[in-house]
Structures are given as structure tokens and as C-alpha cells.
Amino acid sequence: MPLVFAAATNHGPGITARRDTAPPEEVTPFFEGWERLHQRMEAANLDALVMISSDHIQNLYMDNMPAFIIGLGDSFPGPTEDEHFLKIPKTIIPGVPDLAASIADEVMETIDLAYSGELALDHGFMVPLHFLTPAYDVPVIPFIVNCMFPPYPKLGRSYELGRALRRAIDKQSQRIGLLGTGGLSHWPAAPLSGKVAVDWDKDFLEAMVANRREDLTRYSDAEIERDGGPGGHEIRSWIAVAGACEGSGGKLDFYTALPSFAIGGAVVEMAVA
Ligand SMILES: [Fe+2]
């Protein structure tokens, strides 16, 4: 069955860790937006969710840093972080190994992937899942894109990963959704933490909604670092979702600066027709 749902949003750990101490007037629009996303994902009646995120030095280290890696496990523990810090109890997220292997096999017609049977899920996966599939009853196929250490995969390769994923997903019989997480501008664990580059975020979102490949992939790594912060490299997850929806645009549900969570927050849902 063709891809039935595609969206991109954030995953900053402050979303859960600092929820109780953030000013309600600042963060309520974000949580209302995520509740709408939750409702739309539930309505999509997914058999599986392919998630694309960065890894935050939880699975992958400098001794071996793949550009793209898929989790083929039958389950994934998470969160890797301290549960009292993240305020998400540790649990086990179900996988769907046969489907993941089938998708990986097709993706590898055009994109070489690393794979693992033992990925654990950090906040990049667990923070969105905590709100969007709160019963953790939708099996997850995790994809990690290296957004942490250069040399990074080129933005155009993230777009191509998305195109390959779409081809692979469309060949399956299950109802599959795609969710990219990360970004937008942020300076995590840095002196500028809390800064949000609103204009940079809006510029990217405008290109995302229009699904203009040339604009989405035009940034150099140095420009991302300077204008969107080290966390801005996570636009690679969003760009992969755009690649999966090549030829279609999207809809910006909301954008809001969230200095308390140290991110520019947004949801974009892409058309999958
Ligand atoms: Fe991140």
C-alpha cells in the first residue's frame, strides 16, 4: 500500500524535561499542535511508523559513524537517557523486523544503508512517540541520519534517502507512516542554548512546504552551523521526508519559537498522494 502519512516535527529533550517549568503561554501552542498531529496519526490507522532522527551519541560513536542506519530489531528499548531527567519512563518499543528488512532491501537498490538489530531509542524517537503514539502500540522502524559529526551526509543524499524510502514503502502491503524529527534551529548544550533563529526556521519551512528540493538542499554545513546552530543539521530528517513526498507539497500546522525548550518548534504534514 502506498505511504499513508508523512510529517516532520521536533524532538528536543526539553519538550518533556522542562515542560513543567516552561511558561504555559509559550509552550501551549506547541503541545496543542502535537495533539492535532497525534489525532491525525491515529486516524491514519498505521500498521508501522518509519521514524528518521539523529542519534545523540547513544548508539553511534566516532569509531564507526554511518551516514544512514536502519534498525531491524524486533523491539527497541528507550529512552536511553535518565528517565527522571527526560520524564519518560523506560519501556520497550515494538519493532517489525520482517517489514524493516524488506524496506531496507528495496532502499539498498539506490542507497547503501548500515543496519543494526540492537538500536536503542533516545529522545530523538521517544519524545515524539510519548505524545504521538502514547500507548506505544504502533511498531517503529527507526532510521538514524548522522547529524552529529562531520563529514555529514550531504543534504541531497538525505533527499535521495527519502525517495528510496518512498519506493520501498509503496511496495509493502501494510499501512505505513513516515515521521522525521529534529531541529529546527537550535544550539544544544552550547553557550547559545535557547537561541532560536526564527527567520532561518521560517525560510526552511517555506521551502519544505513547497517541497523545493533545490532550496531545501542548498545550505552548506558551515551555513547550517552559523545560521541554524549545531542542532540545525537535523534538517536532514525533514529533507528525507520531503524526498519521500517528491512532487507533493505540505502544510505547515504551526511554527513557534520555544526558547524554554531551546528549539524552533513546528509541524509540517506532507501530502502523500
Ligand atoms: Fe536532536
Residue 41 CA to ligand 1 centre (angstroms): 22
The residues placing their C-beta within 5 Å of ligand 1, an ion, are 54, 182
Give the per-residue pLDDT at 115.
98
Rounded-to-integer distance, Cα 205 and Cα 222, Å = 19
Residue 171 CA to ligand 1 centre (angstroms): 30
Give the per-residue pLDDT at 21.
96
How confident is the chain (273 residues) per 10-residue block, as mean pLDDT? 97 97 96 98 98 97 97 98 97 98 98 97 98 98 97 98 98 98 93 93 98 98 97 98 98 97 96 92
Residue 233 CA to ligand 1 centre (angstroms): 9
Residue 166 CA to ligand 1 centre (angstroms): 23
206-211 long-range contacts, CB within 8 A, separation 24+: 208/8, 208/238, 208/242, 208/250, 208/252, 208/268, 209/249, 209/250, 209/251, 209/252, 209/268, 210/249, 211/242, 211/245, 211/246, 211/247, 211/248, 211/249, 211/250, 211/270
Q: Is the pTM of this model over 0.95?
A: yes
Give the per-residue pLDDT at 44.
98
Residue 43 CA to ligand 1 centre (angstroms): 27
For 5-270, which CATH class? Answer: alpha beta
Residue 148 CA to ligand 1 centre (angstroms): 9
Residue 58 CA to ligand 1 centre (angstroms): 11
